[in-house]
Amino acid sequence: MLHKLQQALHALWKNRVEFSLVSSVFLLGFVFYLWIFLRNQLLPMIDGPYYLIQVRSLLTTGGLVYGDPPLTFYLLSLFSVLLGDITLGVKVGASFFCALSTIPAYFLMKKIGKSILAGLIAMLLVVFSAPYIRMLTDFMKNAVGVCWLFAFIYYLHDLAFIGIRKSSLALAAFFLVLTGLTHILDFGIALVFLVFYTVMVLISNDNRRPFLKAVGIIALVISAFVFIASTFFSFLFSDFTKVLSFFQDLTAPKGSEVPTPTPPSPMPTPVPQPLSAQMDAFSIVGLGTILLILSVGTVLSLYVWKKKDKEALLLLSVTTIAGFIMCLPLIPSEWLSRFQLMTVIPSAIILSYGISEMWNLTNTNSKFVAMVLFVISLSFFVAQSVGITTIIRPTISDAGYLDLVNIKNQIPSDSIIAVSDYGIRYWVEYVDEVDTAQGRIDELSPDLWQSYSHALGLLFKNQVPRVPFKTIFVGNVFTLVELQQNNYSDLSA
């Protein structure tokens, strides 16, 4: 009796230590992500104000301005209500759910690596993943979806080895639906894991029949979800049509489309655009890094196959395959950069398993090697994440934001604004609460005036459109002008 009591107390103490460690890493991630946001009072990157528009619309009208899977906006709206501020709510909410992604990553790798160490390493690699920080600060829906995706993979893996357990089956289907309610790319990657898990289980011939039953039920749930979403909520799930566009671009022969040369613009470039160039450079460096990690995943897959560890082989092989799919050079460039951001998942899984497995070897030198590998990996991840953090910033300056605030009262009713820089389009819509026009200022369609009484142009102060205009406002950064309809008719003729 006393021995059992001692065991129970020991288990309680052990769990408390584990809980403290996991909570600490989660809080570290939350604080780090929130610090990235709080470095500037404005939301960073092009899509930052897009989330402000969507959340404000949801809170004021109950609907969204732009059709998108709605779950993230509802979650961010909840934080905005609790904190009493939309901007702060978006920052805190996004930081919370992205830090929350570390929790299912921990339990997944603790299960596969058979140690707390594997789970903690996975958490740290997620926290300091530069691609994940890139997602967090610009593609928040995509980043939030990673949390549900990790949870789905955990329960899918559980089904592959435990059989049809009602709780695991229900939670796997639940988190897959949550992924679909969040972002199409996360949803697509989840389906890739589902397909290749099924293939690998068929090959291994372990737990085949019950797993196929589980996959069949999940497939029915997802089919029903996609049908209902695309039929009755097509406005919110217009992203589903991007799947067709992706495969069309993927199968299109290279060079089949000859780009039409764009005539040089008479308007000078207002400011240099180093952000895009630096992001492109980051993508190149990131691709080389992930290919190295995927090579490690291939070696580890062969290692656990030889070791006859079927559970680790299943996750590592499917994860490595999914990682290579994310980096296929056949993927069109406009899609490839987004796929590469999802490599946060294979990176965390492969490296955490490899380092923890090295630590668990009986060789006396293995722990030292594992520690060195961990320090090198984490240092590289931290350096890369800090590097990209210094690049991330809003697409508008504080002075420019104040100009938009002052411009609001100068805008005539029933107006539309054409912007000279796409990066400020959502800021104009959010601050000035006015529609923005697609296309260049000097190439607007004359038909625009049939829908709006006034067509305005927002330019940087050193820009001048090549059509006559009337100046309405001159600020520290921007100039607001009214464009003349007759001159657009002459240009189109």
- Chain mean position to CA 29: 16
Phi and psi of 250, rounded to 5°?
-70, -35
In whole angstroms, give the CA distance from residue 404 to residue 319. 46
Rounded CA separation 452/435 (Å): 10
Cα–Cα distance, 129 to 108 (Å, whole number) = 18
Give the pLDDT score at 302: 95
Q: In the chain, where are the structural domains located?
A: 22-249+286-391, 398-492
Q: Which residues pair with 483 in a beta bridge?
A: 469
Q: What is the spatial distance between Cα 216 and Cα 237, in angstroms, rounded to a whole number?
A: 24
For 152-208, the pLDDT digits (tens) are 999 999 999 877 788 899 999 999 999 999 999 999 999 999 999 999 999 887 788
Residue 414 has what pLDDT? 92
pTM of structure: 0.89
Q: Treating both helix axes as pointing N-terminal to C-terminal, what angle do 48-61 and 86-100 enclose, rounded to 10 degrees?
A: 110
Helix, coil or strand: residue 23: helix
Both structure tokens of 335: 């899609």
Only one residue has tokens 């109950």, namely 62
What pLDDT does 6 receive? 56
- Is residue 288 within 8 A of residue 315, CB to CB? The reply is no
pLDDT of res. 234: 87
pLDDT of residue 451: 86
Phi, psi of 239 (to 5 degrees): -60, -25
Ranges of the chain with pLDDT below 70:
1-14, 243-286, 486-493
Residues 436 and 183: their CA atoms lie apart, in Å, by 25
d(C-alpha 54, C-alpha 62), whole Å: 10
For residue 288, the model assigns a pLDDT of 81
